[in-house]
A and B are shown apart, each in its own frame.
Chain A
Amino acid sequence: MEGFRYIPKKQLFDCSVPLTGARKLFVWDGVPEGLPFESVSDLDCAVDFGISTRVERIRYAPKETASAPKATVIVPKEEEITQVISVRVSPSPLSERTVIDCPSEGKYNVVLCSHTVGQERFSTKGRIEIHVAKGASLDLVVMQNENSLSRHESDYRIRLEEESSLSLNIVTLHAGNVTNRIHSLIAGKKATCNLNGLYLADGQQIVDTDVVLVHNAEESVSRQLFKGILDGNSKSRFEGEVVVSPAAQKTEAYQANNNLLISESARASSDPHLVIYADDVKCSHGSTAGSVGDEELFYMRSRGISEKEARILQQQAFAGTVLEKVAHPELRERLSRLVEKRLRGEDTLCAGCSKRCC
């Protein structure tokens, strides 16, 4: 920590994702830099999940992160993008806590990026608490771009009030071993909760996704789409549970996990399930694991698209259905480009990054 303080941070790290006009906060190893955000110790955004036995287990799981003393509290402003760029440069294990509070009606945009700089075995535990107040709408994009040795566990604790909406899009561009646990409670009626994830893995990388989504109020809608492209010896695991409580009549809940296996040795496991206590609901869930379609491949090649390009087009198409959920056009475009670079095996890491980890 002390060592790098003497080096202008811009020389160490310059993220290529910053957006035009975004309000930016750099968080270096858990310590925010700059003043537009407050840092407090006592903000509580506790989520009460109520039913489901599995929820109980998860509810108490991230104890150590919950007790992390400080939180970076983000109160986004309407019509502005808030971008939090979290950078790890010091190898000591870190617990960090981020609170995103959308306090009143309006549209909010937040981007969270996590990066590692250097070749160390970074270990990060993060807890991200999200509260979307009545009538508020939050578009949250999480970008994970870390080295192959890094271990990152993120717990997302989400609470949605009446007529609020959340679109959470997690793009795992590059990671060592990453776990995203999402616990979302729909506490108020007529809320919308869209959870999407795209993970790209190769080598020995591991991506785990664990979703528990509880509908505890009526007339709410949830949609989940998690997709992975797995190459090399990489592994993904998806566990998803949607709980519809007896109070949550007229719920609509959809959940899908689709994996594209590029290599013979890549593995994907998927376990989506629904627990429904209400009787007037529309719910569906499903998962697929497959390789690229030969017919599509031949069709493209017959038009002069080389096999390599055709495969990249297919993978981009596969990824595209998640990326298109990102509402902000500039961000969507940037993410698409980063994904394409990643699929082409080109470096996606932010300019100025010194890491040589893959």
Chain B
Amino acid sequence: MENLLEIKNLHARIGDKEILKGINLVIKPGEVHAIMGRNGSGKSTLSAVLAGNSNYEVTEGSVTYLGQDLLKMSPEERSWAGLFLGFQYPVEIPGVTNVNFMKTAVNEHRRQKNLPPLSAAEYLKMMREKMAYVEMDPSFSSRGVNVGFSGGEKKRNEIFQMAMLSPRLAILDETDSGLDVDALRIVANGVNRLKTADNAFVVITHYQRLLDYIVPDVVHVLYKGKIVKTAGKELAAEVEAHGYEEFE
């Protein structure tokens, strides 16, 4: 089967600081990958680079997404092509309501596919359906994007947005951080409902906790900007039990 994503020898830096030092990773449709690592190992940098955050500079290597050079695409082009990043720290946008934000996003996606924009009623129906995935109260739609949301609500909002855009490849950057067990279960259920044979997920996390709910096919350990170990789901339990010391 065609690779969804292929990362070869990826190096990236922010300012003078090199953070990614040669990442190699292949993701196929239908797979769930977990990337584990300590703070500062480069997990968030990897997701930011894949989403096209211009604060990071790629100095070497390549990323191919569905046969295209991902690194040449703008953040919005990546989104249109089916890439989604669930932010570790979702951004608050005061004054832009959730409904206006997602409606604009959904309709921009449709415009790229030469589809007419959704009518208000069609959008509302879709929104209510996807909000139910993450047990989100419809009243959130009229609030400013992430403004005044609790940590758990912000993460649910990320998964809701993912459901609305139904991406081919979703990267979830520490979606579990700051969540209590109930919120964790809700978020994980949302992800599991969206899983198909055609799409793939990269779950970035510190802990095994989330991986009890979203079961990965492959687990990678990231250490100092490199993937130092790749194995099956049992690796997560091993990391949880022994920490990251053995990789030092």
Chain A residues close to B by CB (< 8 Å) = 295-296, 298-307, 309, 313-314, 316-318, 320-321
Complex-state Cα separation, A304 to B51, whole angstroms:
11
Binding site for A on B (CB under 8 A): 51-54, 74-76, 78-80, 84-85, 87, 90-91, 93-96, 100-102, 104-105, 108-109, 112, 144, 161, 165
Say what secondary structure dominates the interface of chain A: helix
Residues of B within 8 A of A317 (CB): 93-96, 144
Looking at the complex, which one of B51, B90, B93, B102 makes contact with A314 (CB distance below 8 Å)? Answer: B93
Instruction: Please give the distance in Å from B57's CB to the nearest CB on chain A.
Output: 15
> Which of chain B's residues have a CB closer than 8 A to the CB of A309?
104, 108
**Contacts A301-B74, A302-B51, A304-B76 given: A296-B91 contact, CB under 8 Å?**
yes
A298 in complex: contacting residue of B53, B80, B104, CB < 8 Å:
B53
Q: What is the bound-complex CA distance between A307 and B108, given in angstroms? A: 11
Contact of A303 among B54, B95, B101 (CB under 8 A): B101
20 chain-A/chain-B pairs, Cβ below 8 angstroms: A296-B91, A296-B93, A298-B54, A299-B87, A299-B91, A300-B93, A301-B52, A302-B51, A302-B75, A302-B78, A302-B79, A304-B80, A304-B105, A305-B76, A305-B101, A309-B108, A313-B101, A316-B95, A317-B93, A320-B95
> Chain B's nearest CB lies how many Å from the CB of A221?
23
Q: Chain B residues near A318: list those with CB within 8 A.
A: 95
Distance, CA A317 to CA B97, complexed state (A): 9
Number of A-B contacts (CB under 8 A): 72
Q: Which residues of B contact A298 (CB under 8 A)?
A: 52-54, 75, 91
Contact among B76, B100, B109, B144 with A301 in the assembled complex (CB-CB below 8 Å)? B76
In the bound complex, how far is the Cα of B107 from the Cα of A313, in angstroms?
14
Q: Which residues of B contact A316 (CB under 8 A)?
A: 95-96
Which A residue's beta carbon lies closest to that of B105? Answer: A303
Q: Is B79 a contact partner of A301 (Cβ separation < 8 A)?
A: yes
Cβ of B16 to closest chain A Cβ, rounded Å = 20
Excluding A298-B52, A301-B76, A302-B85, 11 further A-B contacts by CB distance (< 8 Å) are A300-B93, A301-B52, A301-B75, A302-B51, A302-B75, A303-B79, A303-B101, A304-B165, A305-B76, A305-B105, A307-B76
| Chain B residues, Cβ within 8 Å of A303 | 79, 101-102, 105, 161, 165
Taking the nearest CB of chain B, how far is it from the CB of A329, in angstroms?
A: 14
Minimum CB–CB distance from A103 to chain B (whole Å) comes to: 37
Chain B residue with Cβ nearest A323:
B95
